[in-house]
Structure 1
Amino acid sequence: MTYEFFARTDCGRVRNNNEDAVAIDRDARITILADGMGGYNAGEVASAMATTFIRTEMARWLAQAGKNAPAADVRRALEICVENANHAVLGASLSNPLYAGMGTTLVVGVFRDARLILGHIGDSRCYRLRGGVLQQITRDHSWLQEQVDAGLLTPQQAAASSSRNLVTRALGVEPHVQMEVNEFQVAPDDLFLMCSDGLTDMVSDADLAEMVRAPLSLEEKATLLIDTANAHGGRDNISVLLVHMAAGGKKRGFMSRLIRTA
Structure 2
Amino acid sequence: MTLEFFSATDVGRARDNNEDSVALDEAAGLAVLADGMGGYNAGEVASQMLTSFVSSELGRWLKDAGREARAGEVKRAMDICVDNANRAIFNAANTNPRYAGMGTTLVLGVFRPEGLLLGHVGDSRAYRLRAGRLMQITRDHSLLQEQIDAGLLTVEEAAFSSNKNLVTRAVGVEDTVLMELHLHEVQPGDTYLLCSDGLSDMLDDDSLANLLNGNPALPEAARALINAANDSGGRDNIALILARAEGRQRAEGRGWWPFGRRGGN
Residue 98 of structure 2 aligns to a residue in which SS?
A: helix
Report the Cα distance in structure 2 between the residues aligned to 1:162 and 1:154, rounded to whole angstroms.
14
Structure 1 counterpart of 2:68: 68
Structure 2 counterpart of 1:171: 171
1:106-144 alpha-carbon deviations (Å, 9 max, x no partner): 000000125100000000000000111100000000000
Structure 1 counterpart of 2:16: 16
Structure 2 counterpart of 1:201: 201
Aligned residues with identical type, % of pairs: 58
The structure 1 segments of at least 4 consecutive aligned residues displaced by more than 6 Å after TM superposition are none
Alpha-carbon offset, residue 62 of structure 1: 1.2
Structure 2 counterpart of 1:182: 182
Higher gyration radius (CA): 1
Structure 1 counterpart of 2:101: 101
Report the Cα distance in structure 2 between the residues aligned to 1:38 and 1:93, rounded to whole angstroms.
10
Alpha-carbon offset, residue 63 of structure 1: 2.0
Please tell me whether the aligned partners of residues 71 and 114 of structure 2 are also in contact (alpha carbons under 8 angstroms): no
Report the Cα distance in structure 1 between the residues aligned to 2:202 and 2:177, rounded to whole angstroms.
28
Query: What is the identity, as a one-letter code, of the residue corresponding to 2:90?
Result: L
Structure 1 counterpart of 2:77: 77
Any stretches of 5+ residues in structure 1 without a counterpart?
A: 251-262
Please tell me whether the aligned partners of residues 114 and 187 of structure 1 are also in contact (alpha carbons under 8 angstroms): no
Alpha-carbon offset, residue 65 of structure 1: 1.4
Structure with greater contact order relative to length (CA < 8 Å, sep ≥ 6): 2
Report the Cα distance in structure 2 between the residues aligned to 1:229 and 1:110, rounded to whole angstroms.
27
1:183-236 alpha-carbon deviations (Å, 9 max, x no partner): 001000000000000011111111001011114310100000000000011010
Please tell me whether the aligned partners of residues 32 and 107 of structure 2 are also in contact (alpha carbons under 8 angstroms): yes
1:94-113 alpha-carbon deviations (Å, 9 max, x no partner): 11110000000000000012
Query: What is the identity, as a one-letter code, of the residue corresponding to 1:23?
Result: A
Residue 126 of structure 1 aligns to a residue in which SS?
A: strand
Report the Cα distance in structure 2 between the residues aligned to 1:133 and 1:217, rounded to whole angstroms.
17
Please say if 1:37 is aligned against 2:37: yes
Alpha-carbon offset, residue 38 of structure 1: 0.4
Please tell me whether the aligned partners of residues 198 and 237 of structure 2 are also in contact (alpha carbons under 8 angstroms): yes
Query: What is the identity, as a one-letter code, of the residue corresponding to 2:52?
Result: T
Please tell me whether the aligned partners of residues 125 and 140 of structure 1 are also in contact (alpha carbons under 8 angstroms): yes
Residue 74 of structure 2 aligns to a residue in which SS?
A: helix
Residue 31 of structure 1 aligns to a residue in which SS?
A: strand
Structure 2 counterpart of 1:230: 230
Query: What is the identity, as a one-letter code, of the residue corresponding to 1:157?
Result: E
Q: Which moved more, 1:104-113 or 1:211-220?
A: 211-220
Query: What is the identity, as a one-letter code, of the residue corresponding to 2:133?
Result: V
Report the Cα distance in structure 2 between the residues aligned to 1:208 and 1:129, rounded to whole angstroms.
10
Query: What is the identity, as a one-letter code, of the residue corresponding to 1:8?
Result: A
Query: What is the identity, as a one-letter code, of the residue corresponding to 1:84?
Result: N
Please say if 1:116 is aligned against 2:116: yes
Report the Cα distance in structure 2 between the residues aligned to 1:230 and 1:204, rounded to whole angstroms.
14
Any stretches of 5+ residues in structure 2 without a counterpart?
A: 251-265
Report the Cα distance in structure 1 between the residues aligned to 2:66 and 2:111, rounded to whole angstroms.
14
Q: How many residues align?
A: 251
Please tell me whether the aligned partners of residues 67 and 113 of structure 2 are also in contact (alpha carbons under 8 angstroms): no
